Amino acid sequence: MGRENNPRKKPRHVAIIMDGNKRWAEKEGLTVLEGHRKGAETAQEIIKASKDLGIEYLTLYAFSTENWKRSKYEVDGLMLLLETFIRENLDKIHREGIRFRAIGRLEMVPSKTRKILMDAIEKTSGNSQGNLILALSYGGRAEIADAARKIAVDVLDGKIKTGEIDEELFRGYLYAPDVPDPDLLIRTSGEFRISNFLLWQISYSEILITDTLWPDFSKDEFRKMVEEFCSRKRRYGGR
């Protein structure tokens, strides 16, 4: 890929697959939930770094539709950790003018956790200094299937005609149609796969992968990956 030095061409939207909590815990001789707790601390640092870098949208892959298959112990622990994360960080996020959002099949989230989540979304809905988006109970295929289902209902109701369905219309049925596609997708832990994440949206995203496990991912490494993105020349298939 061609390069160009343009430090001003920063990504508007960064999406991150936060991978490696379990392996980090095993390496440190700790429980899985302690690995997730350390991962939550890393998320706090990256949220701050993203705001400092002027990134408008940060999407974190927090919990996939497939993660519901994990043990009840781990799932319950992750939901409790999410509740704690929101309680401990919401006031700061709100003070900094960041809008808290979530995408996914949120109806699957336990009612107590979902109420805390929705209250945070409502409290920050008027903020305009940045967007923190949690992909929660999220799957890229599920999002596309849900969009197709909504379109089918609107066709049957006569709201749209089949001939009107194109990429632009389809996008309007996604979970967050107003959010621009990610410019940069980061995956930690060295795995070379996208794990059913933002399948529609990452068509032309730049992808950077680090061997660093998520709990060890630092603000400095994040900043360097953003700088690496800034050095890339994006062609979108045009030449």
Section 184-190 average pLDDT? 98
User: So where are the chain's domains?
Assistant: 13-139+181-230
Q: Among residues 19, 21, 89, 183, which one is catalytic?
A: 19
Note the CATH architecture for domain 13-139+181-230: 3-Layer(aba) Sandwich (3.40)
157 is catalytic: no
pLDDT classification of 236: cutoffs 50, 70, 90? low
pLDDT classification of 234: cutoffs 50, 70, 90? confident
- Supply the pTM of this predicted model: 0.93
Question: Tens of pLDDT along 194-213?
Answer: 999 999 999 999 999 999 99
Question: Tens of pLDDT along 55-71?
Answer: 999 999 999 999 999 99
Q: Measure the CA–CA gap between 83 and 86, rounded to whole angstroms.
A: 5
**60: which strand partners?**
16, 134
Q: Measure the CA–CA gap between 89 and 225, rounded to whole angstroms.
A: 25
pLDDT score recorded for residue 3: 38
Q: Among residues 5, 6, 52, 67, which one is catalytic?
A: 67
Closest of 75, 69, 60 to residue 113, by C-alpha: 75
Quick one: which H or E segment has residue 103? strand 98-103
178 is catalytic: no
Q: 44 exposed, middle or buried (CB, 10 Å; 0-12, 13-18, 19+)?
A: middle
